[in-house]
C-alpha cells in the first residue's frame, strides 16, 4: 500500500497530472478518453496501478525523450504523479533498498502493476551481458528480472525499438543475443500481454498516451507488430507533406534542398507506420523528414533493414 504521505502527494498532484494529460490529449486526438467517467477511472487506476520501469541494453534515450519533452509536465508526471515505483535513472533510491522496494511492490500489486521495459534483453551467456542489480549478494540479470517481473505484471509496455524488436543491440552480429520483450516471453512461455511502443526513441506522446489508455481503457488495440493503432496506424509516405513532390517526380539531391521528396537521399517513409507527420517532434517544432529523412526507427527490422540510412531504399 502507498504511505499516507504518498497518498496525499498523489491527491495534491492529480489535478496537475490530469491537466497535463488533457493538454497532451488535445494534441494527439485522445480527448475522447478524458471525459469525467474515464478521469474517475484513471484516478482510481493511479492508486492501484503502479508502474515499474526497468532498463536493459539501451542508451536511456527513451527515458530522456520522455523527461525532456514538455518540461516540466512529463517529468512531474513521472516523478510525482504516476505511481512510478522504480526507475533506475530518475529514482532517488539505489542499490538493494531500491530493488527490495521494487520486488515488494511487484508482490503487493501482482497481476495489476505495469512493467515498462526499456532496452533489449541479452540472452547469451545466461544473460550475463547485462546485470540489473544485486540482492543478498546475488546478481540479477536483466533476463531474470524481465522474466520474473514479466510473469507477475498485469501488462508490459516495451518502450522503444530495442525492447519492442531488439533494435540497435540486436543489429547484425548481435554477440549478446539481444532480444525483445516479446521474444523473451515467447521463449519462456510467459503470457502477460505486451504492448510495443517502438521508436528510437519513442515519441513521449506515444508513451504517455499508451499509459493513459492502460489506466482508462485497458490494453490498446494493436497492429500485427504489437503497436497501438492509435499511434502507429498510418503510413508516413501516404501522409507526407512531400508526397506532392514524389507524385511529380521531384526529388531532393541534398538535405538542404527543401523542394523535393527525400527518397533519393534515403527516406524509408513508404515502409513506415507512425504518426510523426502530424504529431511532429520537439513540442511540434519539426520532424525527421523536414530536416533529414525517415529512417524507419519504429519498424521491426530497424536498424539493419534501414541501413545505410542515407542510401535510397
Ligand atoms: S519524403 Fe519520404 S515519406 Fe515523404 S513523400 Fe518522399 S519518400 Fe515519402
Ligand atoms: S519520422 Fe521515421 S525515423 Fe523519424 S521518428 Fe518517425 S518513424 Fe522514426
Q: What is the mean pLDDT of each run of 10 residues along the chain (313 residues)?
A: 39 39 33 41 60 95 79 55 78 88 95 95 98 95 98 97 98 98 98 98 89 82 97 98 98 94 98 96 91 97 97 91
Q: Are strands 131-135 and 138-141 parallel, antiparallel or unpaired?
A: antiparallel
Note the pLDDT of residue 7: 38
Q: What is the pLDDT of residue 212?
A: 77
Residue written as grid cell 513506415: 272
Task: Supply the residue whose CA is at minimum distance from atom 8 of ligand 1.
Answer: 237
Residue identifier of the C-alpha nearest atom 6 of ligand 1: 261
Query: What is the per-residue pLDDT for 48?
Result: 66
Q: What is the grid cell recorded at 251? A: 526529388
Q: Measuring from atom 7 of ligand 1, which residue has the nearest CA?
A: 263
What is the spatial distance between Cα 25 and Cα 28, in angstroms, rounded to a whole number? Answer: 5
Structural domain boundaries in the chain? 4-230, 234-306
At the topology level, CATH places domain 4-230 in Rossmann fold (3.40.50)
The reported pLDDT for the residue numbered 191 is 98
User: Do 216 and 31 touch, CB atoms closer than 8 A?
Assistant: no
Question: Would you identify the CATH topology of the domain 234-306?
Answer: Cytochrome-c3 Hydrogenase; Chain A, domain 2 (4.10.480)
Active site residue 267: yes
* Residue 233 parent element (H or E): none
What does the alpha-carbon distance between residue 14 and residue 167 come to, in Å, rounded to a whole number? 35
Q: At a CB cut-off of 8 Å and minimum separation 6, what does 175 contact?
A: 124
Q: Check: CB of residue 208 under 8 Å from CB of residue 24.
A: yes
Ligand 1 interacting residues, C-beta cut-off 6 A = 236-237, 240, 242-243, 246, 261-263, 267, 269-270, 289, 294
Distance from residue 91's CA to the centre of ligand 2 (Å):
29
Q: pLDDT at position 249, please?
A: 98
Amino acid at each position: 500500500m502507498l504511505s499516507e504521505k504518498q497518498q496525499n502527494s498523489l491527491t495534491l498532484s492529480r489535478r496537475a497530472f490530469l491537466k497535463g494529460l488533457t493538454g497532451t490529449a488535445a494534441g494527439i486526438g485522445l480527448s475522447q478518453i478524458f471525459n469525467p467517467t474515464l478521469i474517475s477511472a484513471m484516478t482510481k487506476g493511479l492508486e492501484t496501478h503502479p508502474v515499474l520501469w526497468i532498463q536493459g541494453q539501451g542508451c536511456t534515450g527513451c527515458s530522456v525523450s520522455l523527461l525532456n519533452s514538455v518540461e516540466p509536465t512529463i517529468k512531474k508526471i513521472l516523478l510525482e504523479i504516476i505511481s512510478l515505483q522504480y526507475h533506475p535513472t530518475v529514482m532517488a533510491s539505489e542499490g538493494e533498498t531500491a530493488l527490495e522496494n521494487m520486488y515488494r511492490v511487484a508482490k503487493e500489486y501482482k497481476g495489476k502493476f505495469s512493467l515498462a521495459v526499456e532496452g533489449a534483453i541479452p540472452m547469451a551467456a545466461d544473460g550475463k551481458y547485462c546485470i540489473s542489480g544485486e540482492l543478498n549478494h546475488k546478481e540479477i540479470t536483466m533476463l531474470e528480472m524481465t522474466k520474473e517481473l514479466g510473469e507477475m505484471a498485469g501488462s508490459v509496455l516495451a518502450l522503444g525499438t530495442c525492447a519492442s524488436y531488439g533494435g540497435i543491440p540486436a543489429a547484425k552480429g548481435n554477440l549478446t543475443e539481444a532480444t525483445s520483450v516479446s521474444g523473451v516471453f515467447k521463449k519462456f512461455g510467459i503470457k502477460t500481454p505486451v504492448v510495443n511502443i517502438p521508436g528510437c526513441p519513442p515519441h513521449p506522446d506515444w508513451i504517455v498516451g499508451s499509459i493513459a489508455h492502460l489506466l482508462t481503457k485497458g490494453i490498446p488495440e494493436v497492429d500485427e507488430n504489437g503497436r497501438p493503432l492509435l499511434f502507429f496506424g498510418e503510413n508516413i509516405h501516404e501522409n507526407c507533406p512531400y508526397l506532392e513532390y514524389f507524385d511529380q517526380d521531384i526529388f531532393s539531391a541534398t538535405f538542404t534542398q527543401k523542394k523535393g521528396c527525400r527518397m533519393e537521399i534515403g527516406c524509408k517513409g513508404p515502409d513506415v507506420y507512425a504518426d510523426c507527420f502530424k504529431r511532429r517532434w520537439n513540442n511540434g517544432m519539426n520532424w525527421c523528414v523536414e530536416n533529414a529523412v525517415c529512417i524507419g526507427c519504429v519498424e521491426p527490422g530497424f536498424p539493419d533493414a534501414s541501413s545505410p540510412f542515407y542510401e535510397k531504399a
